[in-house]
Amino acid sequence: MTEQDKTPPRAEGGCLCGALRYRVATDPLRTTVCHCTFCQRATGAAYMVEPVFAADAFAVTSGEVSRYTHISEGSGKEVYVHFCATCGTKLFLTFKRFPGFVGLYGGTFDTPNWFDLTPETSKHIFLGVARHGTVIPAHVPTYVEHAAEIDGTPIAPTVYDAPKVIGACLVVDLPDDRPGGAPDFSVPRDFE
């Protein structure tokens, strides 16, 4: 029994059939909302909500994990998709590029809303390929692609003052609550 096994879980989750279960001992270090085509395909949705944990704060508590190795188009590094061999539910990711961290598929928690998504704890990445019509909240760090260069050098985020709607080569300001508020259809330089 590890020290993590003795710690009461902060949250737990698992697969559709219930065979594979996990727990986390801490709040996420951060949450990445990823709009890349890999995450769209892997989730079958417009984006993936990925709370990230230190590997020692995460444990599989029952079941057998299967693993698929994928080569990232962005970094060229291996991404490991961990899933239940019985029902196929994808539960978590590990990365050659980011050893020591685990990214969970946020919807697999027993209570998916247990962690907060705030501008201080989250970021949106790969807006350049985000599904049209996706609403990006105000005040959250956003990136056209990754948040860092392959060598780890951080990329400066774009932070919008109002919610934005992803569109065909443009981001639209949502109207405010004032009478006559109208969308701003200007094209930001990030999406030209």
Which domains, from first to last, does the chain contain? 3-117 (2.170.150.70), 130-148+159-192 (no CATH)
Give the mean model confidence (pLDDT) for residues 59-73: 95
**Residue 177: predicted pLDDT:** 54
Tell me which residue has tokens 């892997």. 42
Give the mean pLDDT of the chain.
87
List, as own/partner pairs, every contact residues 92-99 make where C-beta atoms lie below 8 angstroms and the sequence separation is at least 24, other chains included.
92/22, 92/58, 93/50, 94/55, 97/72, 97/150
For the stretch 107-115, contacts whose Cβ atoms lie closer than 8 Å and that sit 24 or more positions apart, written own/partner, are 107/43, 107/49, 108/13, 108/14, 108/15, 109/11, 109/12, 109/13, 110/11, 110/12, 110/13, 110/14, 111/11, 112/49, 114/10, 114/11, 115/11, 115/27, 115/28, 115/31, 115/51
Q: What is the mean pLDDT of residues 37-48?
A: 95
179 vs 171: CA distance, rounded Å: 22
Average pLDDT over residues 22-36: 96
Whether 182 has a pLDDT exceeding 60, the answer reads no
DSSP 116: -
pLDDT, one tens digit per residue, over 111-163 is: 999 999 999 999 999 999 999 999 999 999 999 999 999 888 999 999 999 99
Is the pLDDT at 191 greater than 70? The verdict is: no
Given a cut of 60, whether residue 169 has pLDDT beyond it is no
Q: Which pLDDT value is given to residue 93?
A: 97
State the pLDDT confidence band at 12, using cuts at 50, 70 and 90: very high
Provide the 3-class DSSP secondary structure of residue 170.
strand
Find the angle CA(5)-CA(11)-CA(17) to the nearest 5 degrees.
90
pTM for the model: 0.81
Q: What is the pLDDT of residue 5?
A: 54
Burial (CB < 10 A; 0-12, 13-18, 19+), residue 36, is buried
Q: What is the DSSP letter of 69?
A: E
What's the mean pLDDT in 72-82?
89
What distance separates the 2 farthest-apart alpha carbons in the chain? 62
Confidence band of 74 (pLDDT split at 50, 70, 90)? confident
Structure tokens, 140? 């959250």
